Amino acid sequence: MKRTRVRFAPSPTGPLHMGGVRTALYNYLFAKQKGGDFILRIEDTDSHRFVPGAEKYIIEALRWCGIYPDEGVDKDGNMVSVPSERHPHAPYRQSERKPIYRKYAEDLVSAGWAYYAFDSSEELEKARAEAEARGETFIYNWSTRENLRNSLTLPADEVERLLRDTTDWTVRFKMPKDRTVRMDDLIRGHIEVNTVTLDDKVLWKRADELPTYHLANIVDDHLMEVTEVIRGEEWLPSLPLHYLLYEAFGWERPGFAHLSLLLKPVGNGKLSKRDGDKLGFPVFPMLWTSPEGETSHGYREDGYFPEAFINMLALLGWNPGTEQEIFSLPELVESFSIEKVIKSGAKFNPEKAKWFNKEYLRLESPEELARMWMPELEEKGVKADEKKIVEIVDLIKERATFVSDFWNIAWYLFKAPAEYAGKDVAKFWKEENYVPALQACKECRTGEELEEWIRRKELPMGKIMNCIRLMLSGSGSGLGIGDIIRFIGHDEALARCEAAAKALNSQAG
RNA sequence: GGUGGGUUCGUAUAACGGUUAGUACUCAAGAUUUUCAUUCUUGCAAUAGCAGUUCGAUUCUGCUACCCACUACCA
Which of chain B's bases lie under 7 Å from a protein CB?
1-8, 10-15, 22-26, 33-38, 67-75
- Domain A365-413 -> CATH class: mainly alpha
CA distances from A58 to A12, A217, A233, A331, A339 (A): 8, 19, 20, 24, 27
What are the pLDDT digits (tens) for A269-323?
888 888 888 888 999 999 999 999 999 999 999 999 999 999 999 999 999 999 9
What are the pLDDT digits (tens) for A42-60?
999 998 999 999 999 999 9
Q: Determine the distance between A136 (CA) and B67 (C1') in angstroms.
A: 25
**In the predicted model, is pLDDT for residue A87 greater than 90?**
yes
ipTM given for this complex: 0.95
* Mean pLDDT, residues A162-171 taken together: 96
Which ranges in A34-182 belong to alpha helices (H)? 54-64, 98-110, 121-133, 156-165
Q: Are A307 and A357 spatial neighbours (Cβ–Cβ below 8 Å)?
A: no
Closest nucleotide (CA of A235 to C1')? B70
Using the CB atom, is residue A76 less than 7 Å from strand B?
no
* Mean pLDDT, residues A331-346 taken together: 95
A162: confidence class by pLDDT, cuts 50, 70, 90: very high
Query: Is the bond preceding A91 in cis, omega lying within 30 degrees of 0?
Result: yes
C-alpha to C-alpha distance for A337 and A24, rounded to whole angstroms: 15
Using the CB atom, is residue A136 less than 7 Å from strand B?
no
Closest nucleotide (CA of A42 to C1')? B75
Q: Determine the distance between A43 (CA) and B58 (C1') in angstroms.
A: 42
Same fold, A97-259 and A365-413: no
**In the predicted model, is pLDDT for residue A508 greater than 60?**
no
Q: What CATH number does the domain located at A416-509 have?
A: 1.10.10.350
- For chain A, the domains span 97-259, 365-413, 416-509
Q: Looking at residue A507, what is its pLDDT?
A: 62
Q: Tell me the CATH number of domain A97-259, given options 3.40.50.2300, 3.40.50.300, 3.90.1150.10, 3.90.800.10.
A: 3.90.800.10
Q: Looking at residue A27, what is its pLDDT?
A: 98
- Residues 251-290/A with CB < 7 A to strand B: 260-261, 263, 268-270
Determine whether A380 is an active site residue. no
The H-or-E segment that residue A349 falls in is: none
Strand partners, A262: A346
Q: Are A100 and A85 spatial neighbours (Cβ–Cβ below 8 Å)?
A: no
Q: Are A421 and A476 spatial neighbours (Cβ–Cβ below 8 Å)?
A: yes
Q: Are strands A202-205 and A170-173 parallel, antiparallel or unpaired?
A: antiparallel
CA distances from A429 to A424, A435, A479 (A): 8, 10, 19
Q: Looking at residue A509, what is its pLDDT?
A: 44
